[in-house]
Amino acid sequence: MPGTVKSEAVVLRSIRYGEADRILHLYSVNRGRIGAIAKGARRPKSRFGGRLEPFFRLDLVLHEGRGELLTVTNVATVDGYPRLRSSGPALGAGARACDAVLRLLDSAEANRPAYNLLCRYLALLDDPTMERAAALETALSFRLKLALAAGFAPELVSCAHCGEAEHLAGFSGAAGGAVCSSCEAGSFPLSEAAHGFMVEAVAKPLAEAPRAGERELRQVERAVGETLEHHAHVQLRPAA
């Protein structure tokens, strides 16, 4: 049914199309993933201005016709995150975050926790007082929380295979979490520090991501990555 759709959304990807148009991959509050076309967006005097670029958080009015893509009819900026755009590490971290959302949350279903998490991370990357926003610790906390919001959080409290709460020694993506020493076949070693990082990162706000060493963080990245590969069938880009 043709009609008008209104939603706040973040631009995940913006692709030049035809002579003057743009195709947008949007993550919206009300409808999850939206594909849209902005006609004439690349003309110098376009009323859309420069806001149809990645990371922009927008208030959108779209027209839904019979085609797959909605048509952008009106745009207002909620936040353009200008400081994020002027920092190389923040840009890289923001791009990887948008890419993770693009790969993991591809349905046209609203997911408010995931939307809020993405906006929160972009705001931290834009905050000049948040020195660790672009660091690997915060990027991995974001990934863990995103996995949780998407319904693919790894099991961390007890063995994902047998339920044993003691002697957790490894991590198995196939089992979907930490595994005990009796079930560690096919797993990789997970240090206590890496396990602790994941438990703490899930519990704490993104701005208070726990600290950990490089080796532990690589284990965390592998744990989240293998969980999503096995259960969401999604492969994420390297976290840094």
Binding site for Zn ion (CB under 5 A): 159, 161-162, 164, 180, 183
Q: How far is the CB of 95 from Zn ion (least distance, A)?
A: 38
Cβ atoms of 189 and 180 within 8 Å: the answer is no
**Minimum CB–partner distance for residue 227 and Zn ion (Å):** 16
Calculate ∠ Cα 164-225-26, nearest 5°.
Answer: 125
CB of 157 to Zn ion, least distance (A): 12
CB of 159 to Zn ion, least distance (A): 3
In the bound state with Zn ion, the residue whose beta carbon lies nearer, of 97 and 180, is 180
Exposed/middle/buried for 25, CB within 10 Å: 0-12, 13-18, 19+? buried
The strand pairing partners of 34, in sequence order, are 26
Cα–Cα distance, 1 to 166 (Å, whole number): 55
Q: Which is nearer to Zn ion, 22 or 161 (CB)?
A: 161
Q: How far is the CB of 229 from Zn ion (least distance, A)?
A: 21
**Closest by Cα among 14, 39, 32 to 24:** 14
Question: Which C-beta is closer to Zn ion: that of 102 or that of 174?
Answer: 174
36 vs 160, which CB is nearer to Zn ion? 160
Least separation in angstroms between residue 75's CB and Zn ion is 52
The residues facing 14 across adjacent strands are: 24
Long-range contacts of 65-71 (CB under 8 A, 24+ apart): 65/2, 66/2, 68/35, 69/23, 69/35, 69/36, 69/37, 70/5, 70/34, 70/35, 70/36, 70/37, 71/36, 71/37, 71/38, 71/39
Query: What are the beta bridge partners of residue 8?
Result: 59
C-beta closer to Zn ion: residue 93 or 169 = 169
Min. distance of Cβ 189 from Zn ion in angstroms? 15
Which residue intervals of 45-111 are DSSP H helices?
A: 82-85, 88-104
Is the Cβ of residue 54 or residue 177 nearer to Zn ion in the bound state?
177
Nearer to Zn ion, 145 or 161 (CB): 161
